[in-house]
Structures are given as C-alpha cells and as structure tokens.
Amino acid sequence: MAKIFTCLSKKKNKDLGLVSKAKLLKLIESEELEFFSPWRKELRPIRGIYHGVITFYWAFVLFEELLTNNIDKELTSKECEKIKTRLLEEYLMIKSSEKVIHRAYKKKLITKNGLDLCKQVFDSINNFKKFSQYMKDLSDQNRKKIIILTKTLIDSEKKYHQ
C-alpha cells in the first residue's frame, strides 16, 4: 500500500510540475514562507501548498476508491483502518488549504486557471460525506490522531492566516 501511494504521489507531483512549467497553471515564483503547510507542519511558499492540494487529492481519491470498491474484503481490518485514517487526514489537510489557496489568489500568487483547478478539488472534497462514519470505525488511538490533527490545523489557521 505504501509503495502504491509513494508512486502515485511522485507521478502526480511530476505531472503538476510539468503543467506548471508549461505555464498552464502559472504560479508566481515566490520563495516567501508565508503559508502554513498542513503536510509539513511549517510555513512554505504557496507552490508547496498548491502542489500538496493537487498531489494529495489523488491520494484521497485512491483511498476513497479502495474503501468504496469493496477492496476491504481483500484487506485486513488493520489495513482498512490505516486507509480510513489516511483518507481522513488528507481530507482535513486539503480542506484546511482551501482558504489559503483563495488568499494566495487574491495576492495574485496563483492564476485564475490554477484557482479553478483547486476549486475542482475542493468541490470534490466538500462532497465527501463519510467523515463521521469513518471516525466511528477508527480505534481510539487513530481517532485521537485525527482530533489532534484537526486541532493543529485550527490553531495554525488562527496563528498564520487570520
């Protein structure tokens, strides 16, 4: 599972890099560390957040498809729980990036085409309805992990983006 995820992430990140270089989704090159990255838990340039949203969206899609296509019958309960935990983590981190991407667009750090691509991701994420169900399925340890992540994201929003 980890190898599939790593390959998918590297491929999508490479694809996005090629598209960005082709100026189809032009990002303004800014090295300023002004946006909190939920994936790295530190301030990053906007391109790190932008690439994270797109790349980890594909991880979210993979995890969701694994769970909705009855793959759980072929996996152990421990593997299913890991997938659910990762799915919820990606959901929260992508969702927390929505305001950041909009802020970056207002600052003219992302083009309209780039924003439109992210909006498609956010629309898809906002249609996810199984958060509560999957939270109930998690062990206390993994549920706590998701609660801590939620708190971290809320705190970072207050600290960096108010």
47-75 as b/e: b if 16+ CB within 10 A = bbbbbbbbbbbbbbbbbbebbeeeebeee
Kindly report, residue by residue over 7-29, the tens digit of the pLDDT. Answer: 444 444 444 444 444 444 555 56
> What three-state secondary structure class fits 37?
strand
> What three-state secondary structure class fits 27?
strand
pTM of the predicted model, to two decimals? 0.83
Kindly report, residue by residue over 46-92, the tens digit of the pLDDT. Answer: 889 998 999 999 999 999 998 888 665 788 889 999 999 999 999 99
The fraction of the chain above a pLDDT of 70, given in percent, is 79
Residue 156 in this model has a pLDDT that exceeds 90: yes
In sequence order, what are the beta bridge partners of 43?
Answer: 36
Kindly report, residue by residue over 25-53, the tens digit of the pLDDT. Answer: 555 566 678 899 999 999 999 889 998 99
Alpha helix segments (H runs only) across 22-139: 46-68, 77-106, 112-126, 131-137
Question: Contact, 125 vs 60, CB < 8 A?
Answer: yes
Which token pair is 108? 């003219």
Residues 6+ apart with CB under 8 A from 76: none
